[in-house]
Amino acid sequence: MTNNTDTTDLTLVLAATGKTGRRVADRLTALGVPVRRGSRSAEIPFDWDAPATWAPALDGVTSVYLVFSPDLAVPGAPEAIRGFTDAAVAAGVRRIVLLSGRGEDEAQACERIVQDSGLEWTIVRAAWFAQNFSEDYLLDPVRGGEVVLPAGDVPEPFVDIDDLADVAVAALTEDRHAGQVYEVTGPRALTFAEAVDEIAKATGREIAYVQVPVDAYAAVLKEHGLPDDVTEFLSYLFGTILDGRNSRPQDGVQRALGREPNDFADYAHTTAATGVWNT
């Protein structure tokens, strides 16, 4: 293992208050790597909608964990990624680790922008996050005992974000990951109904899974006040991407870390023990 990251090097972690960014920033800090946590509320703020914030956030930075919100598949993402990457090159950044999505042509267009930048790059293509059931929009439905989604019998190899964060940190701190594309998934694929059943077993509760059409799901999201871009993105994922193209588990975790990824059942039991799913 080669680690040429000096402890004086500064790493910018974007979406540092989010599910993956928070974990990456905490792990880097524990390793003694100086971190600038990029968010709108940070001391040096970073806002994708305010390009004037990009250069100050990149000042003095040598590595970047690049997360675009809400997703690389949304309109305008390639233009933002190109502008940010140009700013990173101008600021003297050497290394970028990009969080990307599996099976998304739009995301892969953004990947190519980073790959063509002249910087050292690593792409981390992630499966659906297991933690969406415990740290995001599916938490309240799990607590309420009924998860309603427009997902049928197509399985997904849910990835534990702790695995994803370990891969990202390795790529940020070890030279051997430069030029690698890691598809990070769990070790087996489950349908959403099977995932909910795993959570029910781990909590000892009855949790129903109800499948609905995509249009009906989008209407409910809008009724609950979710932003239009988030609603449109989720509709795109369930209506287009969840068609079987990503069902096969991949070996990104094994290749990057030399170990097996966490299983969804282990995630469910560990999370249940925290009490977050208690009613």
Closest CA to 81 of 73, 94, 236, 10: 73
What is residue 73's predicted lDDT score, i.e. its pLDDT?
87
Angstrom distance (rounded) from CA 40 to CA 99? 19
pLDDT tens for residues 182-217?
Answer: 999 999 999 999 999 999 999 999 999 999 999 999
Angstrom distance (rounded) from CA 77 to CA 80? 5
- Is the domain covering 11-127+160-186+247-262 a CATH 1.10.3210.10 domain? no
Round the average pLDDT of the chain to a whole number and report it: 95
What is residue 223's predicted lDDT score, i.e. its pLDDT?
87
DSSP assigned state of 52: G
Angstrom distance (rounded) from CA 14 to CA 224? 27
User: Which stretches does DSSP call E strand in 118-271?
Assistant: 120-126, 146-149, 181-184, 208-211
Closest CA to 169 of 247, 239, 65, 270: 65
pLDDT tens for residues 209-262?
Answer: 999 999 999 998 888 888 888 888 888 889 889 999 999 999 999 999 999 999
What is residue 6's predicted lDDT score, i.e. its pLDDT?
56
What is residue 228's predicted lDDT score, i.e. its pLDDT?
85
What is residue 1's predicted lDDT score, i.e. its pLDDT?
43
What is residue 229's predicted lDDT score, i.e. its pLDDT?
80
DSSP 30-43: HTT--EEEESTTSS
Helices (H) and strands (E) in the chain, counts: 12, 8
What is residue 168's predicted lDDT score, i.e. its pLDDT?
98
Q: Which two tokens stand for residue 174?
A: 């070890």
Tell me how far apart the terminal alpha carbons of the chain are, to the nearest angstrom.
Answer: 45
Angstrom distance (rounded) from CA 96 to CA 111? 11
With a cut of 70, list the residues of the chain below it in pLDDT: 1-7
Contact 17, 41 (CB under 8 A): yes
Tally the C-alpha atoms within 13 A of residue 277's C-alpha that lie toward its C-beta.
28
How many residues belong to the chain? 279
Closest CA to 171 of 102, 100, 77, 104: 100
What is residue 4's predicted lDDT score, i.e. its pLDDT?
55
Contact 279, 145 (CB under 8 A): yes
